[in-house]
A and B are shown apart, each in its own frame.
Chain A
Amino acid sequence: MRVGGATSSGGAGDPGGAGMAGAHPAETEPDARFTMANERTFLAWSRTALALIVAGLGIIQLLPPFPGVPWGRHVLGVPLIVLGALAPGAAYTEWRRNQAALRRGQPLPPSLLPRILAVAIVCVGIVAAVVVLIAAVR
């Protein structure tokens, strides 16, 4: 319910809001659409984490060993599962931060998760290529 109306629209271009009351800008429950969009983002990260877990398990438990690289499966799979273990906590933290920003009508804080995921996937891809090359040479 928006009652005050003073901070109801946007808020992104309102850096001087602190001048009004001195303390926090007024906090109101955000529009239900924003709350739900934030919730869907969290759920998408949860599914991403589940996909990382199952990918890591699949590598370790279903692939035959790389010839001459006995540690190959674990070096690829364990980081994926660990990332799947850390992502939900980070996603929940970001959900809370986004929800707080929406409540104050402030711009959303930047998200670190896409960069972490991109870097991790690139690294796993490079390591996979190295493992395959070593196995092919031996």
Chain B
Amino acid sequence: MTAPWRPDPGLAGERTRLAWARTAIAFAAVGAALLKKELEIGLATLAVAPLVFAAGRMAARASTPEQRARRLLAVAVTVTVVAILALIAALLIPGPDSLDQLLPRHG
């Protein structure tokens, strides 16, 4: 490949930063969804979102392969931890008994 060097051809850095931003938003969405029934897990997941976003800002810049691997491993471990906490919550906290309990009627 002898193409002339251009700054960020194909906007790879930009797209990668956006992918990190989407991932941060996904963390925030999962955290918000957890808030109602599992307040602590929800808050912890919400708190991860800005960290993921910050990691994305770093990922767009030049970084060593080890730094890259560590960032991605941190994301993988975090998602796995959220899944395990969600599984525990799903097994311990009972769901609604009826639609009425889920959507209380007024008046």
With contacts defined as CB atoms under 8 Å apart, how many contacts are there between chain A and chain B in the complex?
A: 130
A25 within 8 A of B: no
Residue from A32, A44, A62 in contact with B102 in the complex, judged by beta carbons closer than 8 Å: A62
Contact-size category for A: 35 or more
Interfacial residues of chain A within 108-137, with CB under 8 A of chain B in the complex: none
Interfacial residues of chain A within 82-107, with CB under 8 A of chain B in the complex: 82, 84-85, 87-89, 91-92, 95-96, 99
Q: Given that A81-B83, A85-B84 are contacting pairs, would A54 and B30 also be in contact in the complex, using a CB cutoff of 8 Å?
A: yes
B26 within 8 A of A: yes
Main secondary structure of the interface of A (DSSP, over half): helix
CB pair B16 A36 closer than 8 Å:
yes
CB contacts (< 8 Å) of A44 on chain B: these are 19
Residue from B75, B83, B91 in contact with A85 in the complex, judged by beta carbons closer than 8 Å: B83
Main secondary structure of the interface of B (DSSP, over half): helix
CB contacts (< 8 Å) of B80 on chain A: these are 85, 88-89
CB contacts (< 8 Å) of B69 on chain A: these are 96, 99
CB contacts (< 8 Å) of A95 on chain B: these are 72
CB pair A78 B26 closer than 8 Å:
no
Interfacial residues of chain A within 45-90, with CB under 8 A of chain B in the complex: 46-47, 49-51, 53-54, 56-58, 60-65, 73-74, 77-78, 81-82, 84-85, 87-89
CB pair B15 A63 closer than 8 Å:
no
- Please count how many residues in chain B sit with their CB below 8 Å of the partner chain's CB atoms: 46
CB pair B1 A9 closer than 8 Å:
yes
CB pair B23 A60 closer than 8 Å:
no
**Could you tell me the distance in whole angstroms from the C-beta of A51 to the nearest C-beta in chain B?**
7
Which residues of B does A touch, CB under 8 Å?
1, 9-10, 12-13, 15-16, 19-20, 22-23, 26-27, 29-30, 33-34, 37, 59, 62, 65, 68-69, 72-73, 75-77, 79-80, 82-84, 86-87, 89-91, 93, 95-99, 101-102
Which residues of A does B touch, CB under 8 Å?
8-9, 29, 31-33, 35-37, 39-40, 42-44, 46-47, 49-51, 53-54, 56-58, 60-65, 73-74, 77-78, 81-82, 84-85, 87-89, 91-92, 95-96, 99
